[in-house]
Structure 1
Amino acid sequence: MLLKEFTHEPKSVAIIGGGVAGATAAVHLAELGLKVTLIERGEGLVNGPPICHLHAGGNLYREISTQQCIELLKQSIDTVRLYPHSLNVRPTVIAVPQSDAGNPDDLLPRLEIIKQCYQEFVETDSANKVLGEPGDYYQLFSKQQLEALANKIQPSHPNTIEHWLIPFAKHSDLDALKYPVIAVQEYGWSVFRLASSADLVLEQLPNSQTLTQTEVYALERAGEQWVVGCRRQDDSRFEVHADYLINACGYETGMIDDLVSEHRTRLVEFKAAYVTHWDCNEQWPEVIFHGPRGTEQGMAQLTPYPNGVFQLHGMTKDITLFNNGLVGSTPESSQPKLPSELESKIKQGWLESERIERTHKAIKHMSQFIPQYQTATELGKPLFGAQQIPGEDDTLRAADVTFAGDNYARVEIVKGSSALEAARKIVEQWALYEYDGQSIEVLHPQSMMLSAQAVETRAEQMAVAREYPIELAQYFGQ
Structure 2
Amino acid sequence: MASPHIGIIGGGIAGSTAALHFAEQGLQVSIFEQGPSLVDGPPICHLHAGGNLYREISEQQCIQLLKESIDTVKLYRHTLNVRPTVIAVPIQDQGQPEELFPRLQVIKKAYKTLVEKDPTNQVLGSPEHYFKLYSKEALLKLAQQETPEPDSLSGKSLDEWMIPFAQHTDLEKLKYPVVLVQEYGLSVFRLSATVNLALEQLPNCQVYTQTQVTGVEAQDKKWTIRYQPYDINQPIDLHQQATTVDYLINASGYKTGVVDDWVDKPRSRLVEFKAAYVTHWDTGSAMWPEVIFHGERGTPQGMAQLTPYPDGYFQLHGMTEDITLFEDGVAHSTEESSQPKLPVHLVNKIIHGWNEEQQTIRTDKAINHMAQFIPSFASATIGGKPLFGAQQVPGTDITLRAASVSFAGDNYARMEIVKASSALEAARQIEDQMRECGVYDDFSLAPKNVSSELKIEQILATACTLAEQRHYPIALAKVGGVKQDSD
TM-score (norm 2): 0.94
Q: Match for residue 344 of structure 2? A: 340
Identical-residue share of aligned pairs (%): 58
Shift of 1:444: 6.1
Aligned-pair RMSD on alpha carbons? 1.3
- Residue 261 of structure 2 aligns with which residue? 258
User: Structure 1 CA distance, aligned partners of 2:33 and 2:10?
Assistant: 5
- Contact 1:28 / 1:444 at 8 angstroms: preserved in 2? no
Displacement of 1:241: 1.3
Instruction: Return the match for 2:71 from 68, 78, 103.
Output: 78
SS of the aligned residue for 1:357 comes to: helix
Aligned residue in 1 for 2:18 = 25
Shift of 1:94: 0.2
Answer yes or no: is 1:240 the counterpart of 2:264.
no
Please say if 1:473 is aligned against 2:477: yes
Q: Does 1:197 align with 2:201?
A: no
- The yes-or-no answer on 1:171 pairing with 2:175 is no
1:260-275 matched pairs, under 5 angstroms:
260-275=263-278
Read off the aligned partner of 1:321 and give its amino acid letter.
L
**Paired residues, what number?**
465
Secondary structure of 1:321's counterpart equals coil
Whole-angstrom CA distance in 1 between matches of 2:286 and 2:204: 46
Shift of 1:224: 2.1
SS at 2:282 equivalent: coil
Asked whether the equivalents of residues 87 and 178 of structure 2 are also in contact (C-alpha less than 8 Å), the reply is: yes
After TM superposition, give the deviation of residue 216 of structure 1 in Å: 0.7
**Match for residue 438 of structure 1?**
none
Equivalences for residues 335-374 of structure 1 within 5 A = 335-374=339-378
1:443 Cα offset (Å): 7.1
For 1:98, the equivalent position in structure 2 comes to 91
State whether residues 272 and 329 of structure 2, in contact with CA within 8 Å, keep that contact through their aligned partners in structure 1. yes
SS in 2 for 1:430: helix
Q: Which stretch has the larger CA shift, 246-255 or 40-49?
A: 40-49
Which of the residues 82, 87, 95 maps onto 1:89? 82
Separation in 2, partners of 1:444, 1:117 = 31
Deviation at 1:399, TM superposition (A): 0.5
Change (3 A) 1:443 1:166: farther
Can you give the 5+ residue segments of structure 2 that lack an aligned partner in the other structure? 232-237, 483-487
From 32, 36, 39, the equivalent of 1:39 is: 32
1:228-273 per-position Cα deviation (integer Å, ceiling 9, x unaligned): 0001136211111111100000000000001111110000000000
Distance 2:7 2:74 in 1: 25
Q: Which amino acid counterpart does residue 218 of structure 1 have in structure 2?
A: G
Q: Which segments of structure 1 move beyond 4 Å, counting only runs of 4 or more?
A: 432-435
Question: How far apart in 2 are the matches of 1:476 and 1:443?
Answer: 32
Provide the rounded CA distance (Å) in 2 between the counterparts of 1:471 and 1:95. 26
In the TM superposition, residue 433 of structure 1 has moved relative to its aligned partner by 5.7
Task: State whether structure 2 residue 214 is matched by structure 1 residue 217.
Answer: yes
3-state DSSP of counterpart to 1:105 = helix
* Residue 222 of structure 1: how far off its partner (Å): 1.7
* Structure 1: unaligned runs, 5 residues or longer: 436-441
Partner secondary structure for residue 130 of structure 1? coil
Q: Aligned match of 2:300 in 296, 300, 322?
A: 296
Cα pair 1:304 1:310 within 8 Å, conserved: yes
Query: CA–CA distance in 2 between the matches of 1:434 and 1:127?
Result: 28
* CA–CA distance in structure 2, aligned partners of residues 270 and 86 of structure 1: 25
- The one of 182, 185, 205 equivalent to 2:182 is 185
Question: What is the CA-CA distance between 1:49 and the residue it aligns to?
Answer: 1.6
Instruction: Mark the CA change 1:143 to 1:446 in structure 2 (over 3 Å): closer, same or farther.
Output: same
* In 2: Cα distance, 1:406 partner to 1:67 partner: 28
Letter in 2 for 1:376: A
**Contact 2:391 2:418 survives alignment (8 Å):** yes
Structure-2 residue corresponding to 1:151: 144
